[in-house]
Amino acid sequence: MARIKKGDQVYVLSGKDRGKTGKVLQVWPAPQQALVERVNLLKHFDRRNPKNQAGGIVEREGPLALSKLALFCPKCRKPSRVGFSVSGEAKQRLCRRCKAVI
Ligand SMILES: [Zn+2]
| Domain range summary for the chain, segments of one domain joined by + | 9-95
What is the chain's percent helix, strand, coil content, to nearest 5?
A: 5, 50, 45
How far away, in angstroms, is 29 Cα from ligand 1 center? 24
Write out pLDDT tens, residues 64-88.
999 999 999 999 999 999 999 877 6
Mean pLDDT over 36-60 rounds to 89
How far away, in angstroms, is 28 Cα from ligand 1 center? 25
How far away, in angstroms, is 56 Cα from ligand 1 center? 42
How far away, in angstroms, is 86 Cα from ligand 1 center? 18
Instruction: Identify the CATH number of the domain defined by range 9-95.
Output: 2.30.30.30
How far away, in angstroms, is 97 Cα from ligand 1 center? 5
- The Cβ of residue 85 has, within 10 Å, a number of other Cβ atoms equal to 11
pTM: 0.85
| pLDDT score, position 91 | 84
